[in-house]
Amino acid sequence: MSRVLAADTMPIRSEGDIVGVRQLVRQHGAAAELSLVEQTKLVTAASELARNTLLHGGGGKVEVESVEEDRRRTIRLSFIDSGPGIEDVELALTDGYTTAGGLGLGLGGTRRLAGEFEIDSVPGEGTTVTVRFHTRVRG
Partner 1 sequence: MGEQQRHSGAEVASFLLEREAEIIDSWRRLPFFDSGDGDQAQVERDCGAVVRALAEAVRTGDEDDPAAAPFNSLRGLFMELAGRRTRFGDSASEVAVEAGRLKGPVVRLWKSAGGHRGVEQTALLVDALGTLRVAVMEIAVSTSAELIQQQQEQLLELSTPVISLWRGILAVPLIGTLDSARSQIAMESLLQAIVDQRAEVAILDITGVSMVDTMVAQHLLKTVMAARMMGAECIISGIRPQIAQTMVQLGIDLEEVTTRAGLADALAFALTKIGYQVTAPTGAIGR
Q: Which residues of the shown chain bind partner 1 in the complex (CB under 8 A)?
A: 15, 19, 22, 36-37, 39-41, 43-44, 47-48, 51, 95, 102-103, 105-106, 108-110, 112-113
Rounded Cα gap, residues 79 and 130, in angstroms: 6
- Smaller CB separation from partner 1, 57 or 106: 106
- Tell me the closest approach of the beta carbon of residue 119 to partner 1, in angstroms: 17
Torsion of CA 44, 50, 54, 57, to 10 degrees: 120
- Tell me the closest approach of the beta carbon of residue 57 to partner 1, in angstroms: 16
Rg of the chain over all Cα atoms, to the nearest angstrom? 15
Rounded Cα gap, residues 38 and 113, in angstroms: 9
- Smaller CB separation from partner 1, 5 or 119: 119
Helices (H) and strands (E) in the chain, counts: 4, 5
- Tell me the closest approach of the beta carbon of residue 14 to partner 1, in angstroms: 11
The amino acid at 96: G
- Smaller CB separation from partner 1, 66 or 110: 110
- Smaller CB separation from partner 1, 69 or 95: 95
- Tell me the closest approach of the beta carbon of residue 71 to partner 1, in angstroms: 25
**Burial bucket for residue 53 (CB in 10 Å: 0-12, 13-18, 19+):** buried
